[in-house]
Amino acid sequence: MKTAIQTIKDEMTYRSQTVLSYTIEYPVVSSAVFQTAAAAINRYYRAKAELYRQRYRYSLYHQAVMEYESTKANPDRPFRPFEAYLGCTVTYNDNCTLSLYFDAYLFSGGAHGITTRTSDTWDLCSGRRVSMARFFAPGAPYKAYVTSAVQTQIRAQTESGGGEYFEDSAQSAAR
């Protein structure tokens, strides 16, 4: 199965001032063998991208305009345009399995933006998402295993100076 990344971008203005810019990336898959599955996956991500686009264009744009007006009333506070980004990265595409993740970054006027990562894994034969449990023996405590592995990686990166985390990140991974 082949994957490509489709991009939607826009820069929205209010009173000649850019108040919001956004970028949405989503995968488009194609396959000569698994056409039905590819179509289902493409519908899913096209719909997800459209939901993000609507949220940005209406709700987030409205918030950005309100923030712009608020800063105009207070000249000591500069307006910083809102920014939204949904990036897609394919991490595995082999053996009838597609795995990818999305980083959703949002800056809405605070001290800094926030990024949230989500992921999906697909069975390319059926066109259905699969859970992590599928990759472990039935009944295996896979959540505890994954949590422990993440905590170990956080500690190793923190000790080597290679990762920037909050002080309680390893404990937070268990929640």
Write the single-letter amino acid at 2.
K
Q: How many CA atoms lie within 13 A of 85 on its CB side?
A: 10
pLDDT of residue 162: 77
d(CA 89, CA 167) in angstroms, rounded, equals 28
Query: Which one, of 9, 13, 12, lies nearest residue 23 by Cα?
Result: 9
- CA–CA separation, 155 and 175 (whole Å): 16
Name the token pair of 124. Answer: 């390319």
pLDDT at residue 172, as a whole number: 62
Contacts of 95 (CB under 8 A, 6+ apart): none
Helix H segments across the chain?
A: 35-54, 61-73, 142-160, 169-172
Task: Please tell me the predicted confidence (pLDDT) of residue 154.
Answer: 84
Given 3.40.50.300, 3.30.1390.20, 3.40.50.150, 3.30.565.40, which CATH number is that of 2-130?
3.30.565.40
Alpha carbon distances (Å) from 143 to 65, 90, 119, 130, 150? 42, 23, 15, 15, 11
pLDDT per residue, tens digit, the chain (175 aa), is 899 999 999 999 999 999 999 999 999 999 999 999 999 999 999 999 999 999 999 999 999 999 999 998 888 889 999 999 999 999 999 999 999 999 999 999 888 999 999 999 999 999 999 998 888 899 999 899 999 998 888 888 888 887 777 676 656 666 6
pLDDT at residue 169, as a whole number: 60
The full set of domain ranges for the chain reads 2-130, 132-175
